[in-house]
Structures are given as structure tokens and as C-alpha cells.
Amino acid sequence: MLFRSLTYFDLGGRAEGIRSMLHHAGHQYEDCRKSFPEWATFKAETPMGSMPLWEEDGFTTVSSSAILRVLGVRLGYYSDNHLTAYKIDSIVEYIESM
């Protein structure tokens, strides 16, 4: 059985798009939510000192846009057309900047 987990704060923020896509796809994973006090000690254990984190069988992906892209490709939500992929990335980056 594959181990898959998403780690982020116990709020929507940068992980909500990832959670929404995983839910829509019916993709099973562990939703690990950290409190702000837990983050103070957990931060040193993370690559680049940031969240969200996607972990799958020993490999960790950091950054909500990178996680959305890699999962989007795997789950069939990403386009093979370069112009459509650009539009998807533009929307994701715009939302993240807000």
C-alpha cells in the first residue's frame, strides 16, 4: 500500500486547492494538519522550511504550485497542450499570490 500525505496548517490557504483536487479525484491520502505551535518545531524538519508538503513513498514535494502540477498530471487534470498548461499555471500562480 502506498503512503501518501499532505501536510499543512489546519486551515485552507495554500493547501486547499490540493485537498480539493485530491477529493474530487477520490485519491486516498492522509491529511496531516499542523497547529501554529507545532510548526515552530516541525519547520526545521521540512525541505526549504515551508509547507505544504506532499509525501509519497519517501519522496517529498514542496510548494503548492509544484504539488498541484505533479498531482494534476498524474490524476488527469493537466493538459498536454502547452497553451492550456500555461493558462492553468497562470491561474494557479495568480491565486497563490493572493
Q: What is the pTM of this model?
A: 0.85
Q: How far is CA 12 from CA 1, 20, 58, 79, 98, in A?
A: 28, 10, 25, 25, 13
Please say whether the beta carbons of 69 and 81 come within 8 A. Answer: no
Task: Give residue 12's pLDDT band: very low, low, confident or very high (50, 70, 90).
Answer: confident
**pLDDT level of residue 87 (50, 70, 90 thresholds):** very high
Using DSSP bridges, classify how beta strands 53-56 and 4-9 pair: parallel, antiparallel or unpaired.
antiparallel
For residues 27 and 4, the answer to whether their CB atoms sit within 8 Å is: yes
Distances (CA, A) of 72 to 11, 19, 64, 92: 22, 12, 12, 12
Number of Cβ within 10 Å of residue 22's Cβ equals: 20
What's residue 6's pLDDT? 97
| Predicted confidence band of residue 98 (pLDDT cuts 50, 70, 90) | confident
- For the chain, what percent of residues have pLDDT higher than 70? 98
pLDDT at 2: 65
| Distance between CA atoms of residues 58 and 32, nearest Å | 16
